[in-house]
Structure 1
Amino acid sequence: MPSDPTPGRHVAYPALSPAAQALAARCESHVNELARHMARDAFERLPGYSDLPADVKDVEVAATVRTGLRLFLRRVQDPQGRAGDYSLFRERAAQRAEEGMPLHTLLRSHSTAVYVLWQALRDEATDEEAGALIELVDFLLRSHEAVIGAVAETYLVEQATLSAERREHHRSLVRGLLDGSMSPQRAFEELGLEGPCLVVHLHLPREEGPATTSVADRRLVRRVQAVVDRSLGTDSVSLLGVDGGHVVVPQQADDRDGIRTCEELRTSLKQLCGNGVRLAAVAAATAQDVPAAARTAVEIVRIARACGRPPGFHLMHDVLLEYHLSRHDESSDRIAALLDPIEDRPDLIDTLRVHLEHRHDRRSTARHLGLHPNTVDNRLARISELTGLDTGSARGNALALAALLLRGNAPG
């Protein structure tokens, strides 16, 4: 079954002897019989073939076999290849990929067809045609290599396309569930979720330095996804990127707040991404609660970062006051504007944030920033001078904290 494995490119084979052509011509009357034998009997030993509907075997498979047999016999008479000879084989390979037939089963069907054709040629040949038979077998095996190449290439391309479509559909379902743009119940059902769940937000550190390539980013996301799958199991669904993302996982009766789940996941992610990994988990009793839980989890991580809390697993309880202070209302803009005088001084912003996180301990703040305590004092005094905030009073510190949270100042 020689053919053109690459569209637009012709494949030619040496002319066969008149004796070989005559032997092949005598087999033309057996094409329909051979096709039925292959479709109904010879292929039955292939894994999964017996599960195909009878009409697929008798019509589709048999037609493909007939095309292959006639193509081979035509090429024996005229070895010049023509573009398009493999179009039916490619079409069938794409169909089998879409139906989920394993590639090895598809390729074995072509090899089985070659063997059955060899048997037919052998049975038809006389003792005097041994040389002609050898010619035909050589021609058959060389052309079979091209067939297998075209079929495998088409199958793998189609499989990759289908896999990409499934991944994108999965991502769109998770995205629609998280942002509420899709019916939560429908998304739950299509994703195979049920019952109460935890919505986990991941924040992954980005290394300083030259920008990473898209290839490196995709590799990182795949590796993070593998860690999530191993840690949380196949019941979880996720939407991840290079900065992190979300994971929705069934809630466990003995871990309703997700502490154990997230600590185990963070331990695994630390080995891949370093110590800067942050997580927050919020329970969602129903599918309808997932979008709000996702937003809350993002806010918990954002606030923990803005307050300078060390990386790790964050609960709402850890940032309860800060969460409350960061809610927007009619006073928010005025509070956030208190830090406008130092918005172009990241050194002062960082000092203020670390000072608040370290409970106003100047020495602890200095150690964290690598400064002398007197430098911290000077910076705090400068902040008070420029903003009017008294960082030595409870009220001043509360206003400074609220301003930081409302402005979203967070370490890079």
Structure 2
Amino acid sequence: MTYSALDLSADSSDSAARAQDARPSTRGCLALAVETFARQTVPDEARLAEVRESAAQWAREGVPLGAILRAYHEGVRIAFGVVTARAKAADIDELLLATDLMLELLEAITAAVSDAYVDEQHLVAREHQTATQTLASALLSGRASSTLARQTGIPIAESYQVVALAIPDHRDESPPRLDAHAAARRKLRRLQSALATVFESHALALLSTKGGTLLIPAGGPALTSEVLDALAGAAEVPLTATLVLSDTDEVPDAADQAHELLELVRVGGRAPGLYQMTDLAVEYQLTRGGPATRRLATILEPLEAHQELFDTMRAYLGNDMNRQLTARQLYVHPNTVDYRLRRIAQLTAIDLATSAGISQAAIALLARDLDRHIPHRP
């Protein structure tokens, strides 16, 4: 059996018919296979340029990578079948050579197609990300228009879920690791990939490795506590988000409110999760200012010189008024906790042994924290 004796285009009517019916990628691969078996060498990079260009075009058109590779592999399989059809027992050496050539050609084609496809997908993703960031910035500044929507190729919804998002550090970002910045970027890429999947690439995101703003169009997939948990799993960090529903023309104000709520969550020491205004109504009202709020913030002033009393109050409230847990947390005897609670009552008239005193203490402590960390609005 000699390669020169093989006619890969005419003698075998069955092979010719199969090639005729094959997709363009299969026919192109047949040509490469003919060249490979004839020259007994794999085509060079310049010869594979057409393969890479076709793969990039198919990536832009959304053709699955698996379908492209299967088409090319089909071309190699057809050519190899023609080569081996006339083989005899004495042709074992040439069959082994043909097998090696086939495997080398498959490797070269697979690498060229995959690299070009992935590069094009990355380019498309960057273009889409730039478009979404441009539209998100316009919406957040109140400058969105139908012209901009046409330029970006992204329609403007009638209303949005406006989300303020906090992203904590991943464990790989902690010192003394040298790749903290790379770990932060990987965390963000994982989250962005999950966002694209969950919200079908419709969510508009302005995010850094620490957090940012999401605009999720109404009418499609919505952000829920379960969805946020799934996003946190993908990012491998617990996420905290605050959500405000808004008409499109009110997005700037809604974003300000969402980020204000997110700061209330932080100051209040709340657990990660999804919060809305109904979850933070008391805290939000306290930041509005007024005589009542200022009075609440001053109730605890007599404790300023006694940090241990503040620590005891926080721990006692945080442990659901459990003396034993509070004592263990503070590394003191339960009797010491009792003594400190009595001192708090003497200095502030807040009796933490009563439900009224507990409520008053919790609100006063919250008002004090908010007064110190968040400016009041008139």
1: CA distance between counterparts of 2:235 and 2:70?
Answer: 44
SS at match of 2:288: helix
After superposition, where does 1:191-206 map in structure 2 within 5 Å? 191=154, 194-206=157-169
2:39 is aligned to: 74
Shift in alpha-carbon separation, 1:373–1:317, aligned structure 2, 3 A: same
Candidates 245, 249, 270, aligned match of 2:216: 249
Q: Any gaps of 5 or more consecutive residues in structure 1?
A: 1-18, 50-56, 327-341, 380-391, 408-412
Instruction: Give the distance between the partners of 1:149 and 1:237, measured in 2 at CA.
Output: 38
- Identical pairs, percent: 17
CA contact (8 A) 1:236 1:249 kept: yes
Q: Deviations over 1:76-130 (max 9, x none)?
A: xxx698775544444444444444444444344444434544565578x6xxx84
- Aligned residue for 2:158, secondary structure, equals coil
Do structure 1's residue 20 and structure 2's residue 2 form an aligned pair? yes
| CA deviation after TM superposition for structure 1 residue 175, in Å | 2.9
Within 5 A, what are the aligned runs for 1:7-406?
20=2, 22-24=4-6, 27=7, 41-43=17-19, 49=23, 57=24, 65-66=30-31, 68-75=33-40, 84=46, 86-117=48-79, 130=88, 136-180=94-138, 184-185=144-145, 186=148, 190-191=153-154, 194-206=157-169, 211=174, 213=180, 214-215=182-183, 218=186, 222=190, 226=194, 234=200, 237=203, 239=205, 243-251=210-218, 262-265=224-227, 277-286=239-248, 288-308=249-269, 312=273, 313-315=275-277, 317-325=281-289, 372=337, 401-406=370-375
Structure 2 contact 159–217 (Cα < 8 Å) conserved = yes
The 1:156/1:200 distance shift into structure 2, 3 A limit, reads same
- Separation in 2 of the partners of 1:90 and 1:272? 32
Distance 1:131 1:400, change over 3 A: closer
Q: Within 2, Cα distance between the matches of 1:159 and 1:292?
A: 41
Q: Secondary structure at the match of 1:406?
A: coil
* TM-score when normalising by structure 2: 0.59
Measured at CA, do residues 147 and 83 of structure 1 come closer, stay the same or move farther in structure 2, by a change above 3 Å? same
- State the Cα distance separating 1:149 from its structure 2 match: 0.8
Equivalenced residue count is 327
1:323 offset after TM fit, Å?
4.1
- In the alignment, the residues of structure 2 paired with residue 82 and residue 274 of structure 1 have an alpha-carbon distance, to the nearest angstrom, of 43
- Name the CA distance, whole Å, in 1 between partners of 2:250 and 2:371: 28
**Inter-CA distance 210–164: structure 2 relative to 1 (3 Å threshold):** closer
Rounded to whole Å, the distance in 2 between the matches of 1:228 and 1:94 is 21
TM-score by length of 1: 0.55
- After superposition, the Cα gap between the structure-2 partners of 1:155 and 1:167, relative to the gap in structure 1 and judged at 3 Å, is same
Give the SS at the match of 2:157: coil
Q: Partner amino acid for 1:194?
A: A
By how many angstroms is 1:353 displaced?
A: 11
Residue 306 of structure 1, CA deviation:
2.3
Describe the SS at the equivalent of 2:114: helix
Looking at structure 2, the residues matched to 321 and 173 of structure 1 have their Cα atoms a distance apart, in angstroms, of 37
Question: Does the CA contact (< 8 Å) of 2:161 and 2:243 recur in 1?
Answer: yes
Deviation digits for residues 6-55 of structure 1 (CA, Å, limit 9, x no counterpart):
xxxxxxxxxxxxx725525xx4xx75x589997x9525665xx3xxxxxx
Contact 1:303–1:319 (8 Å) recurs in 2: yes
In 2, Cα distance between equivalents of 1:208 and 1:159: 33
Letter in 2 for 1:195: E
Distance 1:20 1:177 in 2: 63
Change in 2 beyond 3 A, CA 1:400/1:82: closer
Gaps of 5+ in 2: 291-303, 331-336, 345-360
Task: Give, as a single letter, the amino acid of the residue that structure 1 aligns with 2:75.
Answer: A
